[in-house]
Amino acid sequence: MFAESLNDVRRICPLVHCITNYVTVNDCANVLLACGASPVMADDEREAEDIVSIASSLVINIGTLNSRTIPSMFKAGRRANELSLPVILDPVGAGASELRTRTAMELMGEIDFSVIRGNISEIAAIAGGESKTRGVDASDPGLLDGDLSADIITLILKLREKTGAVITVTGPKDIVAGEKCLYTIKNGHPMMSKVSGTGCMLSAITGAFCAAASDMAVAAASAAGMFGVAGELAFERLTLEGGGTSAYRSYIIDEVSNMTPEKMREAVKIEIR
């Protein structure tokens, strides 16, 4: 089920419209190409609707949100909803500034998202729980170590209820909470947190998988599983060939481009509960 999703992406070759941050935008474009999709980055208010109209899905990432791009996020999101396209939200750094938290909340109020993906701090911030976001790549370590507590699960389910979106929470284990079931994904490698943009890349990939799927929870879990497996294979290669965090980042994208359903079937560890 999960491995087949990759074939669907490669067959359909969806065009994924990203309104995203300028920090990791190049990695997002390249990882979309690597997984078989096509990227289009466009954030001017005057073209946001045109571009989304030719796209297969929309990914809104607030990593470097600003006065010029925020209105484009709303316009593109509303148009994507009219066209029934999947829309993904990556609330980067929600909780770190009033602007980020408020913008994420307003986006959720006006736009129907298919998937919302963040780390636990960001998800907590927009679910109305406590948040101690410390920038965009950092998280409250207490929330991330080991298993997620019952409180956290409650928070995730609350956000799912409020938004109707599938919620992907990434960390040592990833959680994908859909309407009917909750997936736990035990793939990936801790070193992924030492590479800028792994979260953004997964959100972009989720946009590609959702565009090629009918079940958004399966699509989100497949994307997270595939990317986690890529992180594992990349770490194996790093161990063999040496290098540091920059080599590792390049290997992750390489492994996405060389991913096959067979590799996924062998390595994906997704539990349904």
Interface with a second copy (CB under 8 A)? 13, 15, 21-27, 29-30, 33-34, 38-47, 50-51, 54-55, 63-68, 93, 96-100, 134-138, 194-197, 243-247, 249-258
Q: Return the number of the residue (45 or 112) whose C-beta is nearest a second copy.
A: 45
| β-sheet with 115-119: strand ranges across | 38-41, 15-19, 57-61, 87-90, 115-119, 166-170, 174-177, 182-185, 270-272
CB of 74 to a second copy, least distance (A): 16
Residue 172 backbone zone (phi > 0: left; psi -120 to 50: alpha; other: beta): alpha
Would you tell me how many other CB atoms lie within 10 Å of the CB of residue 233?
20
Nearer to a second copy, 122 or 182 (CB): 122
Query: Exposed, middle or buried: residue 175 (CB in 10 Å: 0-12, 13-18, 19+)?
Result: buried
Shortest separation between residue 180's beta carbon and a second copy, angstroms = 33
Query: Is the Cβ of residue 93 or residue 171 nearer to a second copy in the bound state?
Result: 93
Residue 33 host element (H or E): helix 25-35
DSSP E strand boundaries for 76-154: 87-90, 115-119
Rounded to a whole number of angstroms, the minimum distance from the CB of residue 178 to a second copy is: 29
User: Of 103 and 183, which CB lies nearer to a second copy in the complex structure?
Assistant: 103
In the complex, what is the shortest distance from the CB of residue 24 to a second copy, in angstroms, rounded to a whole number?
Answer: 6
Q: Which one, 62 or 221, has the nearer CB to a second copy?
A: 62
Q: How far apart are CA 39 and CA 62, in angstroms?
A: 17
Q: CA 122, 123, 124, 125 torsion: positive or negative?
A: positive
Rounded to a whole number of angstroms, the minimum distance from the CB of residue 230 to a second copy is 10
Within 8 A by CB and 6+ apart from 93, the residues are: 62, 63, 100, 122, 133, 135, 136
**Could you tell me the smallest distance in angstroms from the CB atom of residue 34 to a second copy?**
5
Nearest to 69 by CA among 26, 25, 31: 25
Nearer to a second copy, 112 or 254 (CB): 254
Q: In angstroms, what is the minimal distance from the CB of 231 to a second copy? A: 13
| Residue number with CB closer to a second copy (7 or 38) | 38
